[in-house]
Structure 1
Amino acid sequence: MSSATERVLRDIAREREAQDALFGQQDLPNGTGPEFDGDATDYADAYRAECDKAFAMGAGTYRHIFMEEVFEALAESDPVKLRAELVQAVAVGVKWIEGIDRRTPRE
């Protein structure tokens, strides 16, 4: 694991600790899948198409990839598949943060 990834994951761990300190442990429902949002699959398909189109035009961004992964997660109701989609979304988020850190000096 690169030092950049380790730094981002430490930041995320600190944020998680702050969330627990503020809200305590939360065991909320997932709120995903067609039973919660009948349009979730349509949104996932739309963002996938938007992402493919943007990259085909040479205009793809982290936003395109991240939103595609997020909406794929929101469309998923199977817990195993949902977890895999969330891991993908968070990994893209970490990669995005690493890109920001490379372009922006940190204090």
Structure 2
Amino acid sequence: MTTHHGRQARILDDVRRERDAQDARFGVQDLPDGTHDVFRSLANQHRDNCDAAFKGGNGTYRHVFLEEVFEAVAETDPVRLRAELIQAIAVGVKWVEGIDRREGR
């Protein structure tokens, strides 16, 4: 059985390989963030959906992940955007961990 940290290391290695593949395909890209406070209402909606789902006993990784992603796209301050992206990425890794546990990896 894979340990918690071993599973995370394998997933992060997968992420590194994907990033290498992206750079090989597209080169290093410096794109604009594309975030805007116009997305705040969507972020609030996803937070409310997430809260309601967990309150009702129906919370899923999708609820948490979308809440974090929309909080990121609504953030225009670079420091807070970075923090929100780290949270979204961490939830994505947590989701993959759950998939791997179910699959016995």
- Distance of 2:62 and 2:32 partners within structure 1: 26
Paired amino acid for 1:62: Y
In the alignment, which of 1, 14, 18 is matched to residue 15 of structure 1? 18
Deviations 1:8-59 (A, max 9, x none): 000000000000000000000000022xxx2x00000000000000000000
Corresponding residue of 1:3: 6
Q: 1:52-84 CA deviation, whole Å, 9 max, x = no partner?
A: 000000000000000000000000000000000
Structure 1 unaligned regions, length at least 5 = none
SS at match of 1:2: helix
Measure the CA separation in 2 of the matches of 1:59 and 1:50. 10
Which residue identity is paired with 1:75?
Answer: A
Q: Which has the higher helix share?
A: 2
Indicate which of 13, 23, 27 corresponds to 1:24.
27
What letter is aligned with 2:80? K
Name the CA distance, whole Å, in 1 between partners of 2:87 and 2:81.
10
CA distance in 2, matches of 1:71, 1:104: 29
- Where 2:28 maps in the other structure, the secondary structure is coil
Normalising by structure 1, we get a TM-score of 0.92
Structure 2: distance between partners of 1:15 and 1:58: 34
Name the counterpart of 2:77. Answer: 78
Structure 2 gap segments, 5+ residues each: none
TM-score by length of 2: 0.94
Report what 1:60 is aligned to.
Answer: 59
Q: Give the secondary structure class of the aligned counterpart of 2:49.
A: helix
Corresponding residue of 1:42: 41
Q: How many matched pairs? A: 102
Distance 2:46 2:77 in 1: 20
Give the CA RMSD over aligned residues. Answer: 1.0
